[in-house]
């Protein structure tokens, strides 16, 4: 096998209990993300670039519990985590508990490449992202109102997402 890729959009919920709209949105999101990764790898792109691009796609899609559409804390906020690791060198980067970073996976990669650290958390991680000029958003951005979203009250009550 010259190249290979696998993706997941989360475990825990029972798809048999989803309505058609949610099933369709989730499947379309998976296919879009996988297509991005396949095309990158088939074109000779790196595994690291493929991983980042695929995850960015799912972070931007409110059907998944990451980025826009993420589930909410007890206080009603989105606190996001992400990590990335390069198998060539075992270099890695991660962020935890961030609230304003549009694409956490890309900032995790910047932690890996632009600092000597592995994990930045909370306001410090948000500040690091700002210093790197990555896209920041109002925390309300994560509170998607799109049908099939992950952070709807229906989902949180009947179809829990796992971390």
Partner 1 sequence: TVGCVALDSAGNLAAGTSTGGTAKKLPGRVGDSPIVGAGTFADNASCAVSGTGVGEEYIRNAVAYDISAQMLYAGLSLESAVTEVMTERLKPGIGGLICVSHDGQIVMQHNTPGMSCGAADSGGRFETQLVLDN
Site for partner 1 in 100-159 (CB under 8 A): 104-105, 108, 118-119, 121, 142, 150-151, 155-156
Residue 11 contacts partner 1 per CB under 8 A: yes
Integer Cα distance of 71 and 79 in angstroms:
8
User: Which two tokens mark 143?
Assistant: 């509170």
Residue list 29-48, contact with partner 1 (CB under 8 A)? 30-31, 33-34, 37-38, 41-42, 44-48
33, HSE (Cβ side, Cα atoms, 13 Å): 25
Helix (H/G/I), strand (E/B), else coil: 131: helix
- Binding residues for partner 1, rule CB under 8 A, total 84
Residues 62-101 contacting partner 1, CB under 8 A: 64-67, 69-75, 77-88, 90, 92, 94-97
CA distance 110 to 87: 16
State the nearest-atom distance from the C-beta of 6 to partner 1, in Å.
Answer: 4
């Amino acid at each position: 096998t010259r190249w290979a890729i696998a993706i997941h959009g989360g475990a825990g919920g029972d798809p048999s209990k989803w309505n058609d709209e949610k099933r369709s949105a989730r499947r379309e999101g998976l296919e879009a993300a996988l297509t991005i990764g396949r095309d990158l790898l088939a074109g000779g792109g790196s595994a690291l670039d493929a991983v980042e691009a695929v995850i960015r796609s799912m972070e931007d899609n409110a059907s998944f519990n990451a980025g826009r559409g993420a589930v909410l804390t007890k206080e009603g906020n989105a606190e996001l985590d992400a990590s990335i690791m390069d198998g060539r060198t075992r270099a890695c980067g991660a962020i935890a508990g961030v609230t304003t970073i549009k694409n956490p996976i890309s900032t995790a990669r910047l932690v890996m490449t632009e600092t000597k650290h592995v994990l930045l958390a909370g306001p410090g991680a948000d500040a690091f992202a700002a210093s790197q000029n990555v896209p920041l958003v109002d925390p309300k951005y994560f509170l998607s109102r799109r049908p099939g979203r992950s952070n709807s009250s229906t989902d949180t009550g009947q179809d829990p997402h796992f971390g």
